[in-house]
Amino acid sequence: MEEEVIAQNAIGTEFGAVAMFMQADPVVKGVMIMLALASIWSWAIIIDKSLTFGKLRGRAKRFEEQFYSGRPLDDLYRRLKDRMDHPMARVFVAGMDEFAKAAPTHGGFAPSAVQRAERRMMAEATREVEKASSQLSVLATVGSVAPFVGLFGTVWGIMNSFQGIAQTGDASLAVVAPGIAEALFATAIGLVAAIPAVVGYNRYTAALNSYVARVEGFTGEFTAILSRQADSGGR
C-alpha cells in the first residue's frame, strides 16, 4: 500500500502543470508562456469591458430619464456641458452646440441647421463607438489564433518525443508519455486562452451593438425634436 501511494505521488508530481512546464522543450515552453500571457490579457479586457458597459448602461438610463422628463433641453444642456461623462451626453451636447450656432437672428433658421446638427451627432457617436469597441479585436485574435498556437506547441512536442524514441530505441509508454503529456498541455493552455476570449468577444460585441442601436435611436429622436423646433422658429 505504501509503495502504491509513493508511486501515485511521483506520477502526480511528474505530470503536474509546473513540472510539465519546467521539463518542456524551449519552443514548447515559449508557446506556453505566450498563451498564458494572452490569457491574462484577455481576462483583463473582459473585466474592463464588463465594467465599461455596465457604467454605460447605467448612465444612459439616467440620461434618458432626464431627457424624456419634459424639462427644457437648455437646462439639461447646461448641466451636462461641463461634465460629459458618457457617450449619450457627448452626442447630446454636440448636437446642441451645432444647433446653437444656427440660432435665429431674424426669426428663422438656416435650412441646413438640423442636418448639420445631425451630422455632428453622428460623427460624435462614431467616435464614441470606436472608444467602446477598443480591444475587442484582441479578444477576436486570441480566440481564433490561440488554439492553433497551442496545436503548434503540441506538434513540436510530439516531434521531440518521436526523436527521443528514435535515439533511444525505446517506445515504451514510460518513455513516450512525459513528452506527449507536455505537448498536449500546450493545447490545453491554448484552449484555456481561446474559450474565454471567444465568449467575451461575442458577449461584448452584442453589448456594443445594443448600445449603438440605443445611441442611434436617441440621435434620431433628438434630430426630430430639433427639426420641430426649427420649424417653429425657436429653440
pLDDT in tens, 68-114: 887 888 888 888 887 777 888 889 988 888 887 765 555 555 657 78
Question: Domain segments of the chain: what residues?
Answer: 25-151+187-232
Helix intervals (H) in 68-105: 73-80, 87-100
User: 212: Cβ–Cβ under 8 A, 6 or more apart, which residues?
Assistant: 125, 129
- Could you read off the pLDDT of 8-61 as tens digits, one per residue? 444 444 557 677 777 777 888 888 899 999 999 999 999 999 999 999 999 889
pLDDT value of residue 233: 58
> Residue 111: its pLDDT value, please?
58
pLDDT for position 228:
80
Q: How far is CA 148 from CA 100, 144, 182, in A?
A: 55, 8, 16
Q: Please, which pLDDT band fits residue 1 given cuts at 50, 70 and 90?
A: very low
More confident residue, 123 or 234: 123
Residue 66's pLDDT band (boundaries 50, 70, 90)?
confident
- pLDDT at residue 184 in the model: 84
152-210 pLDDT, tens digit per residue, is: 888 888 887 777 676 766 666 666 666 777 778 888 899 999 999 999 999 999 999 99
> Could you give the dihedral angle defined by the CA atoms of residues 179, 184, 187 and 193, in that order, rounded to the nearest 10 degrees?
-90
41 exposure class (CB count in 10 Å sphere: 0-12, 13-18, 19+): middle
Residue-level pLDDT at 129: 87
pTM: 0.79
Give the mean model confidence (pLDDT) for residues 209-220: 91
Q: CA 16, 20, 25: angle at the middle one, nearest 5?
A: 180
